[in-house]
Homo-oligomer: A and B are copies of this chain.
Amino acid sequence: MVSALLSIGQISKRTGVSISAIRYYETEGLVKPSRNAGGQRRFRRSDIRRLSFVLIAQQLGFSIGQIRQQIRTLPDERTPTQRDWAKISRRFRRELDERIAGLTIMRDRLDGCIGCGCLSLRNCALYNAQDRASAKGPGPRYLMGDLPS
């Protein structure tokens, strides 16, 4: 019988996410299925979208933690609307834009390096890439400080 709620097996088949991964996502707070009398998970249809979102976000390179941040902005009780998802899509778009811009900068710098073959010398522009790529954390700050004699 086809009920309004889905078992874990059914939602796994519909989303392509493995059963074990879905259980893991629950521990990570990415989905919050209810339980039936026997303790089995029951998913809403809107969870299909949630899980597809997780899949897409991962392909875009987001970590579980980052995805959780985004998903938290969804309403917990009512089924998310298109507007709810659209807001998230826009955030993603901005992220992608930044990522593309970053890679483009990298590529252009690399172009400058092809001629000189420097890649590791103190005057190579790629050295500064760290400023952009890993803004947080200490990282190798002293890369530039030491002149090879």
Main secondary structure of the interface of A (DSSP, over half): helix
Q: Which residues of B contact A141 (CB under 8 A)?
A: 16
Give, as a whole number of angstroms, the nearest-CB distance from A104 to chain B: 6
Q: Is A20 part of the contact surface with B, judged by Cβ < 8 Å?
A: no
Interface 0/1 of A104-139, CB less than 8 Å to B: 101100110111111111001011011001100001
Give the docked Cα–Cα distance between A106 and B124 (Å).
31
Q: State which of B45, B100, B120, B133 has its C-beta within 8 Å of the C-beta of A52.
A: B120
Give, as a whole number of angstroms, the nearest-CB distance from A21 to chain B: 10
Q: Is A36 part of the contact surface with B, judged by Cβ < 8 Å?
A: no
Q: Is A72 part of the contact surface with B, judged by Cβ < 8 Å?
A: no
Given A16-B142, A119-B53, A148-B14, are A104 and B93 also a contact pair (CB < 8 Å)? no
Give the docked Cα–Cα distance between A93 and B139 (Å).
24
A60 and chain B: residue at smallest CB distance: B106
Are the C-beta atoms of B116 and A82 separated by less than 8 Å? yes
Interface 0/1 of A41-85, CB less than 8 Å to B: 000010011111101100110000000000000000000011111
